Chain A
């Protein structure tokens, strides 16, 4: 299939590309401010429309830039103004639209536009409607800032900005204790990773003398390798936080407390992929240290399997999808770690489409079920909401990696890379994960849309979402189906700046078998899921539920509990201890002790000042005696000392 378009459009004839870049970047923040002004006032539908159209404008601008680059335009790099300059450090607000960032911009704005439109329907009954749009657009702005910045510190602005918006949006329903708790957890865990990121930036500054991408990458070969690997490790720690890699992964599942469009946009399509974006963006650093890359790939494979196992048993529809996101992020890191950067980016793009679609579908289900999340209480919903069922089915098939859906192309490439670099353990892990992925995707689909209508027992009357919401989701569905077909165009486009990954000669011969094997396990997974749910409700019987492994998985390997016991509680107790025992009882008490000492000296000696002359006279004599003694000691000090020395020796 070849969609080679011979329309050579030179977009810069119509409009200045830097203007396009500014429009793409700043129209979301304009929307956010407009919505923010009405933040505390009652819902206005107009706000949602204005904000969505501004995001759409941003999408159009991004698309313009994309076309400009696609048809051979030069990379757009603008420097808006100086930000921080002190000593030798000089950081501007600089933005770049090259092949990588424009791809990200396109994905971000496209998914954002859809999520914004969807949210008009989803949030229609929420009293924080305007506030929601303000936060959501602010997020888009931060994300655009992140991907468009031309230096590491600018990236860090966006990085923290998305963290802030994520905090605001997870805790959007701030009256819920669990939501605000999850928001804080996400923010703080990200901050821990940001610490690593900052250290990486410090290292880059002190060794390269600059933070601009192009200048850093130009000098990268003149820096000792151990420094480079330290930089790579610290930057990756930053990426681990944002992309929720083990051991900083727990926040992502808890982040599902936020409204579902937020989960779709932030915690599936865009923000969590920022870590992958960082690895791709800094590929020239990571490429120099394959050991670090191998570590990244191994961790990615581990997370892929680890998250997939947790997704197997969870009964919360959103959490299952969240674990699946984790798992897919693991795939991307495998590709990134093994040096196949364009494949990582490709999987990032396709994953954004079908995962956002999956979340939005889950949002519809949630709405229909009156915010019920437990899939055991659903079932047979296809009768009431056929559109949603269809969309979710598409997304699930894409996620499972069935030809010709988008997920097939990107995921299969990752497996091939793992095989090609002779990392058979990684390949095996990913292969197994592919089967698990197919299984849990269809487990959800089966439990939610097929089988008996269990919801009736709970007195719930589901209804289909607004039509425009479904229409808004349609582009995503289309892309989830067809995106993989543009693989060659994608390669040509992004490898203009990303390194090309060359498969070895031998792999072409067995590539057919590999595809077969992978597809086989995916199909097997789907089959098991379908069959097991056709005949009885759920695969897991009660006896199985008392199994140790089931419990382990159901409790997320007890990791949240361990963190609570090992970090949260000791931190709180240590803080209390520091305050009550150390600060008040040692540090402050020492100071007060000195003061009390002086005070008690006064209290004890004030008896002297009784006004009685004879006592005063006696004290005077004591004073004279003391002075005399000291006078003698002073005048005979030398002889006394020699005497003492004689005695001691």
Chain B
């Protein structure tokens, strides 16, 4: 029995986490929860990238993960700002209340 951890293990974990995040995005209606789920998905991708980087001895994967973290941070900053404004105006953070785009 080969007990060493291979790339596939990491990728599998990454996929599972990604779909936990996807599930959250689809099922939850609270915008805050949506943000959380998005973070999960981003992190899932990061795991995959870092794992590949490690197993192939290439730094590019880590570079990507690095930039993804930067983007995630910006997204949270802006997104939360918008969310706060929205909450102030409508007193709700429910996704279905965002109907102003309906044609």
Chain A residues near B22 (CB-CB < 8 A) = 621
Cβ of A618 under 8 Å from chain B: yes
Q: Are A610 and B102 in contact (CB under 8 A)?
A: yes
Chain B residues near A612 (CB-CB < 8 A) = 96, 98-99, 102
Q: Are A614 and B99 in contact (CB under 8 A)?
A: no
Distance in angstroms between the alpha carbons of A168 and B102 in the assembled complex = 70
Chain B residues near A617 (CB-CB < 8 A) = 25-26
From the candidates B26, B100, B101, B102, name the one contacting A614 in the complex (CB within 8 A). B26
From the candidates B25, B26, B29, B101, name the one contacting A611 in the complex (CB within 8 A). B101
Cβ of A566 under 8 Å from chain B: no
Q: Are B102 and A611 in contact (CB under 8 A)?
A: yes
Q: How many B residues touch A, CB cutoff 8 Å?
A: 12
Q: Which of A346-388 contact B (CB under 8 A)?
A: none
Q: Are A609 and B103 in contact (CB under 8 A)?
A: yes
Residue picked from A611, A614, A617, A618, most chain B C-beta under 10 Å:
A614
Nearest Cβ in chain B — how far from A606, in angstroms? 8
Cβ of A613 under 8 Å from chain B: yes
Chain B residues near A611 (CB-CB < 8 A) = 98-103
Cβ of B72 under 8 Å from chain A: no
For the residues of A in contact with B, the DSSP-based class is helix
Distance in angstroms between the alpha carbons of A554 and B100 in the assembled complex = 87
Chain A residues near B102 (CB-CB < 8 A) = 610-612
Cβ of B95 under 8 Å from chain A: yes
Nearest Cβ in chain B — how far from A624, in angstroms? 9
Residue picked from A609, A613, A618, most chain B C-beta under 10 Å:
A613
Interface string of A579-623 (1 = CB under 8 A from B): 000000000000000000000000000000111111001100100
Interface string of B33-51 (1 = CB under 8 A from A): 0000000000000000000
Distance in angstroms between the alpha carbons of A120 and B98 in the assembled complex = 95
Distance in angstroms between the alpha carbons of A612 and B98 in the assembled complex = 7
Distance in angstroms between the alpha carbons of A610 and B100 in the assembled complex = 10
Nearest Cβ in chain A — how far from B26, in angstroms? 6
**Chain B positions near chain A (C-beta within 8 angstroms):** 22, 25-26, 29, 95-96, 98-103
14 contacts between A and B (CB under 8 A): A610-B102, A611-B98, A611-B100, A611-B102, A611-B103, A612-B98, A612-B99, A612-B102, A613-B96, A613-B98, A614-B95, A617-B25, A621-B22, A621-B26
Across the A-B interface, the 3 shortest Cβ-Cβ residue pairs: A611-B102, A611-B101, A614-B95
